[in-house]
Amino acid sequence: MMTINPQFQKLQASYLFANIGKKVRAYQEEHPQADIIRLGIGDVTRPLPAVSIAAMQKAVAEMGAAETFRGYPTDYGQIFLEEAIQADYALRGVNVSVDEIFLSDGAKSDTGNFGDVFGAGNVIAVCDPIYPVYVDTNVMAGRAGYLLEDGHWSDLLYLDCGESAGFLPRLPSRHADIVYLCSPNNPTGTAMNKSQLQAWVDWANENGAILLFDGAYEAFITEDLPRSIYEIEGAKTCAVEFRSFSKTAGFTGVRCAYTVVPKELVRGGVSVNAVWNRRQATKFNGVSYITQRGAEATFTQEGRAQVRETITYYLRNANVIKTGLQSIGLSVWGGVNSPYIWVKVPDGADSWGFFDMLLNQAQVVGTPGCGFGPAGEGYFRLTGFGTAERTQTAVERMQTLDL
């Protein structure tokens, strides 16, 4: 008899965004006039940089003429975007070769797909709270056992990134083979500094482990912190880095990202770069030419200025939320090197209780922290991705909360 991968049945416990939608719809039905402000979803709202639009329009025209038409990216040997990415790394003093850079349609796909590289018995360590993709894709792959009563999966190693840990992962107390790190972090907004990253790199090299470093929010770093794991000595022999144009340049709907797999990264005599190359060559046919031109344009001087302007806009929103909530006595993290604001819910409430309170009293929608793992219970995520006007209105409403 044919069977369906039973792992998917185990996953159905995840109702976060469905539950948010249900609660918001119910509220709207009861209060049809309500003006609801959504500060929950992790999607950008500002338009693409003008340089990207111009570059993509030009690329569309090229596709319409036989002399400049492009087909499968690999068949044309085009590496202009990889070269632009390489040059961008060089600005931070990082040397990567173009065949260490793998373009893709998203960091979500890459962080999810990268598990294909690893054998079945590896011990996977994840932070708690965490971007749910890392856990769910390991469940799908059969590496995560079963869901325990405390909300953790039986075979995963969880690194507590709660408030008492400063929202930062400590080195594992027991053996782990693969560790997912995300800095600046979604959902807590915390960014790791050089010595914290160095400790992880040293640990991974000493233990033969691999770090999967998600840098989707590196462009939001404004303080003097590393923007790439490869700014850390020794990272080339233990770390894979995921980056994306999604949050950096508004490409969430266009889709373009890249993963760096250093050639020095070898385990059991096998090159991880070669395995990932084989995997991508088999299951992926490259990023559209038009999209690549749009992404390339973000690295021009004009492009960088336009990207910076949008990031500054989101960071300003995040700061408005942060200072606004601090002024009513709430404890708030993130919002500095990150578009995310991580709020401790007032005494006596849990994440969903605070969700209901915000929706009912302020008509503001956020994301309950418990949706990112058990250690997120008692916390709440808001984002700076709204418009400045709506963010300001949301903060004014939240300041009238009856806490």
Ligand X SMILES: *Cc1c(COP(=O)(O)O)cnc(C)c1O
Kindly list the residues in this chain that would bind ligand X in the complex (CB under 6 A). 42, 106-108, 131, 182, 186, 214, 216, 244, 246-247, 252, 257
Shortest distance (Å) from residue 327 CB to ligand X: 28
Pairing of strands 367-368, 364-365: unpaired
What is the DSSP code (8-state) at residue 147? Answer: B
- What six digits make up the tokens of 361? 């009293």
Contact assessment for residue 401 and residue 328, using Cβ atoms and an 8 Å cutoff: yes
Of 249 and 398, nearer to ligand X (C-beta) is 249
Shortest distance (Å) from residue 312 CB to ligand X: 19
Of 294 and 324, nearer to ligand X (C-beta) is 294
CA–CA–CA angle 371, 372, 375 (5° rounding): 105
Shortest distance (Å) from residue 251 CB to ligand X: 7
Shortest distance (Å) from residue 7 CB to ligand X: 21
- What six digits make up the tokens of 381? 């995520």
Of 106 and 376, nearer to ligand X (C-beta) is 106
Contact assessment for residue 237 and residue 262, using Cβ atoms and an 8 Å cutoff: yes
Of 134 and 363, nearer to ligand X (C-beta) is 134
Shortest distance (Å) from residue 43 CB to ligand X: 8
Shortest distance (Å) from residue 105 CB to ligand X: 7
- What six digits make up the tokens of 291? 């999209």
What is the DSSP code (8-state) at residue 162? Answer: S
* SS3 assignment, position 201: helix
CA–CA–CA angle 200, 206, 209 (5° rounding): 65
Query: Which residues, other chains included, contact 366 with Cβ-Cβ below 8 Å and sequence gap of 6+?
Result: 39, 40, 343, 355, 358, 380, 381, 382
Alpha helix (H) residue ranges in 75-193: 80-91, 107-113, 132-140
Of 186 and 306, nearer to ligand X (C-beta) is 186
Shortest distance (Å) from residue 186 CB to ligand X: 4
Instruction: Give the relative orientation of helices 289-297 and 80-91 as an angle to the nearest 10 degrees.
Output: 30
Alpha helix (H) residue ranges in 284-378: 289-297, 301-326, 351-362
Of the candidates 114, 88, 127, the one whose C-alpha atom is nearest the C-alpha of residue 374 is 127
Of 137 and 186, nearer to ligand X (C-beta) is 186
Pairing of strands 239-244, 210-214: parallel
Shortest distance (Å) from residue 147 CB to ligand X: 22
Contact assessment for residue 340 and residue 187, using Cβ atoms and an 8 Å cutoff: yes
Give the span between the Cα atoms of 97 and 385, in whole angstroms.
Answer: 33
Of 127 and 359, nearer to ligand X (C-beta) is 127
Shortest distance (Å) from residue 26 CB to ligand X: 27
Contact assessment for residue 220 and residue 86, using Cβ atoms and an 8 Å cutoff: no
Q: Which residues pair with 210 in a beta bridge?
A: 178
Place of tokens 């260490």: 100
The secondary structure element, H or E, covering residue 240 is strand 239-244
Shortest distance (Å) from residue 295 CB to ligand X: 11
* SS3 assignment, position 334: strand
Of 141 and 403, nearer to ligand X (C-beta) is 141
Of 108 and 143, nearer to ligand X (C-beta) is 108
Place of tokens 């070898």: 266
Of 179 and 257, nearer to ligand X (C-beta) is 257
* Nearest residue to ligand X, scored by beta-carbon proximity: 106
